[in-house]
Structures are given as C-alpha cells and as structure tokens.
Amino acid sequence: MRADSSMKTTESKLTVQLDEGEHQAPDRCCTPCTHSASAGDDGSQSMDQTAVVQQCKQDEEKSPQITTPPEGKLRRSITSLPVFNPERLRIAKAQVDKAVKMHKVFSVHGPYPVIREALRARGWVEQFKPRSKRHAHKHHSDVSRTNSFHSNDAGESDDSDDNSESEKEPDPDGLYDIMSRLVRHEMVYFYWTNRRDAINTNNLYKEQITNHFAKAGSFTTKVGLCVNLGKLHWFDSADPDTFFPRCYRPAAQGEKHAFIEDYRRTACVSLLKYIVEREQGDKTSGIIHTVQNKKKRQKRRYKSVVLPKVIDFALKVCQEFLESLEHNDIDIGLESPHTLTEEQWTDFIESYYLIVHRGIETENCNHLVNCCKNMLQKLREVSPQLDIDGIHNIWIIKPGAKSRGRGIKCAKRLHDILRLTDGDPTLIRDSKWVVQKYLERPLLVHDTKFDVRQWFLVTDWNPLTVWFYKKCYLRFSTQLYSLDTLDSSVHLCNNSIQKHLMPSQQRHRGIPADNMWSDEQFKTFLSSQGQEAQWESVVICGMKKAVIHALQTAQDLVESRKNTFELYGADFMLGHDLRPWLIEINASPTMAPSTPVTARLCAAVQEDTLRVVLDRRTDRTANTGDFELIYRQAAVKVPQYLGIKLLVEGFEIKSSCPLPPLRSAKHSASKRCGPDKNKESAAEKAPPLPKTSFKGTVNHLKNADSAVVLRPPVPCATPVSTLSETLTLNLPLTVTKSIYLPISAHSLFSRRTSGLSKAYADRFKPCNMQKYPHLALEMTVPK
C-alpha cells in the first residue's frame, strides 16, 4: 500500500522537464528526482524519491507560493500537472514491453498525426526525437529547402513551410512521453521522415524500415526526369514525346544548340498553324487581339512583312525536318553550305513575332493555305505534341531541383529564355536549369487551368514494384486562363502559390474558393461533357504508363534497399483529348490538410500506405485500401559487390618435362652417363644440315616483323643431334628450302606455333621418316 501511495503521489506531483530530460521538484525543493524511465523499468519508486515527494507536499501546504524560477529555466507548477492513473501506467508498461519484444518501436520526423495514430493502433510505440535536435533539424530543413537544388540527390519535395516539425501533437496526460522514455534506448524499427537526408540508410540494419530510397533524385528532380526520359528507348519501345513535353538543359553540352533548333522549328510550325486558323476563323486559337495590342500597333510603325516569303521559309524548314527524320539528308555533301544562315533566322523570327504576337495586318495568302494544311498533316503524324504546342511558342523555365513553383518563369522570346538560363553561374555549371515546352492548349474547366496530383508507391526496386493510388485531386488556378500574360498566378497551379491569391471575380462559381476538386467531382464534370468513359480508358491508363516509364529509366540509378518504400506525388496536365502529360514527380508530397479535399484524401493515402507496407508483411491477402499493384518486374540477380580493388589469384602452370639449358646432345649425354659409342655412331649417320640453307636463313631473318623461336628439344632416352643455337623464323617468306630437325624439336615447334594461322602452319611439313629418323621443316627464305 505504501508503495502504491508513493507512486501515486510521485505521478501526480512530479514536475516533468522535457527540454532537459529530467524531473525537478518545485523551487523550494531542488533535489532532483530519479528519472521516470528508470523507475518505470522495475515498476517501483525508490524510498529516497518518495521522501522527497512527501517533503515537497508538506512545503507546498505550508507555502503554496512558488518563487520565480531563474532566467533560462522553465518550471511548471505541480498543481498544473496531470494526475496519472497507476492502472494506466501498468498497462502502458505492459504495452511497451510487448512492443519492444515484437520490434514495434517507431520514430516520425514531422507533423504526421495520421501516421502516428495508425501505428499506435497497431501496437507500436513512438520514440520521440529530442527537442534540441528538432530545432536543429528544422533549421537544417529550411536551409535544405532553400538550397535543395545544389544537392545531386535532392528531390522535388512539396512539403509546405507550414508543415513545421516544431509542431507538437497534443498529449494531454503525458502518457506518450512516458512511453517514449521507456523505449529511448531501444532500436527503432520504422522511420517516417519528410526529408530524405534525415536518415542515413547506410547505417540502418536490414530489419529497420524507412520511407525514403537513396539516390532517387534521378527522377524526382526536373533535371533527372529530363535526362532519364531521353533514354527511354533503351528500356521500352514507348516514345517519351507522347506523355512528357519536350525538355532541354541549356547549360549541358550540345543541348543548348538542340533547344535553339527546336525553338526555331516550333516558330515555323506555329506560323503555319496561325495561317490555317486565321483562314478558318477559329476565334478560340488566341488570334483575337487585345485592346492593348491594338494601341501598341497605333503608336508604333512596324516594318513591312512579305507574308508569302515568310511562309515559304517556314515550309522549307519543316520539309528539311521531315527529311531528317527519314534520313534523306545523309546524301547532302559536307562541302555544301548551310541552307539557312543566322541572318535569315533573325529576320524570320522577327517577322514571326510581328505576325503572331503583335498581330500586324498582312495580305491574304489563300493559295498557300493548302500547302500549310498539307505540311501540318505530315507533321502531325511524326509529332505527337503538335496539338498542345499552340501558336505562341511559349516555353517554361524551371530550376532543376526546386519545388512548390519556386523560380519558375514563362517566356516566349528566345533571347529572354537564354538570358534567364545564363544568369546564375552556379546553375550553369551544374546544368540545373531546364527549359520545357509549355502546354499552350490544355484542357480547361470553366476557362480555368488545373493540374492533377496523383500518388504512387514504390515498395521495391529489384524487382521493381509499383502501386498506383485510385484517388487523386485537382488544383485550380485563381485566375482565368489567358496567354496575354505570363504571370505565375495564371499558369502555375501549385497550392503554395494560389493559396495566397484571391480568386478572380470572373471565375466560374462552380470552382470552390479553396481551388481544389476531388476526382469524383471531376468525373461528374466529364459526365456533363459526355466524356466520363474516357476517365479510365485515357486518363488513368495514361498516367499509369507515364509513371512506369519514368521509374524504368531510373531503376539502375536508385539505390535499392529491402525494407524501404517511398510515396511519390506526380503532377499531370490534360490535353483537349484528355491525354495526360507528366510535368514532374515530387518526393515527400505534402500531406497537410489545407482543404477539405486534401484533409480526406491525404489521411486516406497515409493509412493505405501502412496497409501495403506493414499489413502485407504478415498477411499477403491483407486489405491494401485504394492502392492497386500495377507493375511488378521480374527479379534480376545482382552480383555481390567486391569493392574497387579486384584480386585475381592463380598459380603457375609447370611443364611435366622441364627444358634443360641449351647444350649439344653429345655433351649432355657424356656429362650424365659417359660417352656412348653406339649412340654417337647413330648420330653420325644422320645427314648434316646444309650450311648454305642455314646461314642464308639466319641472315635474312634479322629484320623481320614477326618471329618464331625454336627452342631446344625435350631430352629423350636416345640422344640425337640437335641445333646448337636458336633459330628465328619470320613469316611470310618466299623461297622454300628444307631444314631437318630432330623429332623432339619438331614436336616442340608444333606446340610453339599452334597459335599461327592455318595458312602458315601448312608450310611446315615432315620429311620421309623411313629414310631419316628426323623431321624436315620447310621454310621460306627471301630471295
């Protein structure tokens, strides 16, 4: 009873100082108490701690006034502390013991209340991050967000600034703090962070789970997506121009020239489209000029433009482009001069500006309209982006690794684009700028531009496993869509930009003030337009293919790790035919409940992510919510990494009969076993080698390119006559003569020349074995 009473008194009167990680008594009783986690480990309080608490109670009854704490010390009144139920503490202690035993300790970095509640409902216990490190991480996170484009592994993270990690979720009875202290020395088995650099995956054990892959910037940055999708032909037969707008890095070698060529060619195509649409009287094409442009035409006198000449120039450029696609331009000689000079291009671009952008009056060229139509029809067959390009030739300039619309600008003049990309030396050196063709004719809802945020989940890179979320939402602009202005309030739909703007008074009332629609609301709109069936067959199918192709190109670049997953947010725009166009992919997509739509969908996608990642680990038939498995690649066996230094071990192959030093057979035999008259007589019967043939061969083989060296014969039981010096043979030779060699020498020579070609090997033929006990070697000597 005394122990329970002391525990209850301590739990109700003890001051918890979280910042310093210790418990302190009131100002009058400064004796520190034993750490609560230590007391909780054995389930009892020490007698000294009980005495201190009782003394604090007596002092409080005598003098309830608490002196002001010294500066820099934050104290809490004992009377303001919550009263803990001992039964709940025992339950919490049992829950902690069970969680530790089952490896259910997690850590969340960032304001993710849905993740915390979902994990706690599954029996997990959170290990809080120390407060001091939280502030340091917040400062580091702000710096990282500001300079994220300087990191090669930085991803497109659209976590907004109001998702600060300093926010602390409510813990009214302090129970979560106590449980966190009980597991403060335990291993964390699940990490959920909003920054990839918060956890070093190289320091994790295999059983630890984290929500970020390393080196994923190859597709979560605008630069990485631009580079890798250009290599899609190595991974799939799909064409990236069918789902990803043309993109260039002006600072990269060779791509600046390619962008200038594309810009000029697009200007030619835009002029042809302008001529055709003007003839058709299509007012929706943007040809109707504003009053501001009319005033400018009245105040300024432009030079005269010969329209037929300009159209002929554009037709010529388009025809050359078609011939280059069919490789008909390879017959043009290198000595032939370029058909178009820089001066000609300068004059054409200026004329194009005056006709399309300034809207100057020109004569009608009805006889050239059919030529423009035919050329556009040919271009449409080879250019899938012809319908979305429009006529204004607008391009969007983006910093390579920034998110939430920061630093993005639109421009339509070539010199303005090049000036923006050549401005920052750091970005130029690291090729961090990208220039992408702007979708001038997107699908509009009530004359307002929008984009689609679509989630997908990657649970493994080998085999590549992709989960697609069935729900998404739309983000609208606050202003009506118009190409007369290039302001970001019109052309950028990021919520971080639009939430600070007031909706236009002319915008349709069907678009809510928070600028967001769910996918269900959008399908209702499509149904009113008679296009509801195309949502699944065109929009969803196209987004799935675009996501898979983007991941295929980055599969070899991302650092794969088991027990790792990552949730991404892809941004799409839709064309008039509802074809989705991939704009960018974001790592750590925002989960802030900024609107009723995001509050519902973001909470659902977080809960379903844990179902896929955790519940399916123990039960493959578990419910995965709205996540759908759309791609699972066959696993590829990866060889074990041995490091940079490679070591090849081996041993020397020794001959079964080593060759002795070069000596005459007679001297060798006499040295070993004395002179043998029978063997000497047999050797003397062999015909001597022709002196002229031998000398001539040696003299003519000094300046040869390739040589074959005759080695002394392998010693045998019966000594025979051998050559007394090394003979070098050189090929090819011209005159054929015969040199007689012993059998053993010829056998050795055959082994030495086994690597020669058959043509040279056929020149060496044996002699008559019945007449001579030797072999004859035919060789050719130069005349």
615-626 pLDDT, tens digit per residue, is 999 899 999 999
Q: Is the pLDDT of residue 637 over 60?
A: yes
pLDDT at 581 exceeding the cut of 90:
yes
For 551, the 3-state DSSP assignment is helix
For residue 84, pLDDT over 80 is answered with no
Predicted local confidence at residue 641, as pLDDT:
61
What does the alpha-carbon distance between residue 220 and residue 552 come to, in Å, rounded to a whole number? 13
Task: Note the pLDDT of residue 274.
Answer: 93
| 132-to-20, 128, 129, 694, 759 alpha-carbon distances in Å | 9, 12, 9, 93, 83
pLDDT in tens, 325-353: 887 666 655 554 556 888 999 999 999 99
Token output for 389: 């390009």
Helical H runs in 591-690? 596-610, 616-618, 665-673, 677-685
For position 124, what pLDDT does the model report? 96
Determine the pLDDT at residue 301: 53
Of 302-306, 307-311, 350-354, the poorest mean pLDDT is in 302-306
CA distances from 718 to 668, 712, 715, 739 (A): 12, 15, 8, 21
Provide, rounded to the nearest whole percent, the portion of the chain with pLDDT above 70. 60
What pLDDT does residue 253 have?
A: 77
- pLDDT value of position 506: 92
pLDDT per residue as tens digits for the range 506-563: 999 999 999 999 999 999 999 999 999 999 999 999 999 999 999 999 998 998 899 9
> In this structure, what is the dihedral angle of CA atoms 358, 364, 365, 366, given to the nearest 10 degrees?
130
- The predicted-structure confidence for 421-430, as pLDDT tens digits, reads as follows 776 555 555 5
pLDDT band at 6 (very low <50, low <70, confident <90, very high): very low
Nearest residue to 178 (alpha-carbon basis) of 35, 74, 57, 49: 35
What residue has token string 């006990």? 773
Q: What is the pLDDT of residue 51?
A: 44
pLDDT at 101 over 90: yes
Q: Tell whether the torsion through CA atoms of 723, 729, 735 and 736 is positive or negative.
A: positive
> Rounded mean pLDDT of 686-702?
45
**DSSP at 148:** G
Maximum separation of any 2 CA atoms in the chain, in Å: 136
Distance CA 286, CA 442 (A): 13
The residue written with tokens 């001579």 in the block is: 772
Of 28-32, 311-315, 322-326, the poorest mean pLDDT is in 28-32
How many angstroms separate the Cα of 782 from the Cα of each of 305, 692, 704, 730? 80, 14, 11, 10
CB 126 within 8 A of CB 108: yes
Name the residue type at position 629.
Answer: L
Sequence-ordered strand ranges (E) for 247-387: 247-248
pTM of the model: 0.69
Dihedral sign for Cα 332, 333, 334, 340, please: negative
CA–CA gap between residue 153 and residue 151 (Å, rounded): 5
pLDDT above 60 for 21: no
**Confidence at residue 367, expressed as pLDDT on a 0 to 100 scale:** 80
- 178 pLDDT above the threshold of 80: yes
pLDDT at 762: 52
From CA 108, how far away is CA 168, in angstroms rounded? 12
Supply the pLDDT for residue 655.
Answer: 67
pLDDT tens for each residue of 383-427: 999 989 999 999 999 875 555 656 788 999 999 888 877 765 555
Nearest to 546 by CA among 564, 526, 567, 571: 571
The least confident of 11-25, 153-167, 693-707 is 11-25
Report how far Cα 392 is from the mean position of its chain's Cα atoms. 32
Residue 72: the pLDDT is: 47
Res. 696 pLDDT band, cuts 50 70 90: very low
- Give me 137's structure tokens: 């991480």
Give the integer Cα–Cα distance in Å for 145 and 149: 8
Q: What is the mean pLDDT of the chain?
A: 74
Region 234-242: mean pLDDT is 93
Q: How far apart are the first and last CA of the chain?
A: 122
Statement: residue 700 has pLDDT above 90: no
**Better-predicted residue by pLDDT, 6 or 371:** 371
User: Among 46-55, 371-380, 410-419, which is the least confidently predicted range?
Assistant: 46-55
Residues 740 and 771: beta-carbon distance below 8 Å = no
> pLDDT for 596-612, tens place per residue?
999 999 999 999 999 99
Lowest mean pLDDT among 125-139, 228-242, 285-299: 285-299
Distance CA 491, CA 423 (A): 23
The string of DSSP codes covering 674-738 is ---HHHHHHHHHSPPPPHHHHHHHHHHTTT-SSEEEPPPPPP-SS-----SS--EEESS-SEEEE
Q: Which of 175-189, 316-330, 752-766 has the lowest mean pLDDT?
A: 752-766
Which pLDDT does position 372 carry in this prediction?
A: 93
Q: Which amino acid is at 66?
A: I
**Average pLDDT of 731-737?**
49
